[in-house]
Amino acid sequence: MAKATTTRETAALPESREALLVLHRAARGRRDAAALLSEERAAASEELARIEIQIARIERAMDPPLV
């Protein structure tokens, strides 16, 4: 059975690259502070992935693209 999504998972990410980089730094800090193989580390890693995907979308849409 599918896991219910939390507010954090469904929350919209900012459209600003600068704001995303601030969130990325905070999520990276949470991941690095969490114990290895913990649920907190896994959650922070998933959040990092979501943020990085959004950053990539923004960078590809730039003229000229950063990627």
Given pLDDT bands bounded at 50, 70 and 90, which one contains residue 1?
very low
**Other CB atoms closer than 10 Å to residue 1's CB: what's the count?**
3
pTM of the full structure: 0.77
d(C-alpha 28, C-alpha 32), whole Å:
6
Tell me the pLDDT tens digit for each residue of 12-39: 999 999 999 999 999 999 999 999 999 9
Domain boundaries, the chain: 14-61
d(C-alpha 29, C-alpha 38), whole Å:
15
